[in-house]
Amino acid sequence: MRAFLFPLVAFAAPAAAEPPQPITPKGLEWQVKEYGFSPAVRAGDFIFVSGVVAGIEKGAEATPESMAAGYERAFSRLQEILGAAGASWRDVVEMTTYHTDLPAQAAVFMAAKNERMAEPYPAWTAIDIDRLWPDNGITEIRLTVYSPRADR
Residue 83 predicted with pLDDT over 70: yes
Alpha helix segments (H runs only) across 19-101: 29-35, 64-84
pLDDT on residue 150: 74
Q: Rounded mean pLDDT of 112-120?
A: 95
| 143 bridge partner residues | 49, 95
Q: How many domains does the chain have?
A: 1
| Residue 6 is assigned to a structural domain of this protein | no
pLDDT on residue 84: 97
Q: Rounded mean pLDDT of 34-49?
A: 96
| Residue 79 is assigned to a structural domain of this protein | yes
| Count of all residues that appear for the chain in the document | 152
CATH of the domain at 46: 3.30.1330.40
| Residue 115 is assigned to a structural domain of this protein | yes
pLDDT band, very low/low/confident/very high, at 2 (cuts 50, 70, 90): low
| Residue 5 is assigned to a structural domain of this protein | no
Q: Rounded mean pLDDT of 28-49?
A: 96
Q: Are 83 and 112 in contact (CB under 8 A)?
A: no
| Residue 135 is assigned to a structural domain of this protein | yes
pLDDT on residue 17: 75
| Residue 91 is assigned to a structural domain of this protein | yes
| Residue 1 is assigned to a structural domain of this protein | no
Report d(CA 89, CA 149) in Å as an integer. 16
Residue 39 predicted with pLDDT over 90: yes
Residue 74 predicted with pLDDT over 60: yes
User: What is the extent of the structural domain holding 73?
Assistant: 21-146
| Residue 11 is assigned to a structural domain of this protein | no
| 85 bridge partner residues | none
The residues, ordered by sequence, that sit 6+ positions from 75 with a Cβ below 8 Å of its Cβ are 54, 112, 113, 115, 116, 141
CA angle 111, 87, 76 (to 5 degrees): 40
DSSP 61: -
Element spanning 16, H or E: none
Spacing of C-alpha 38 from chain mean position: 12
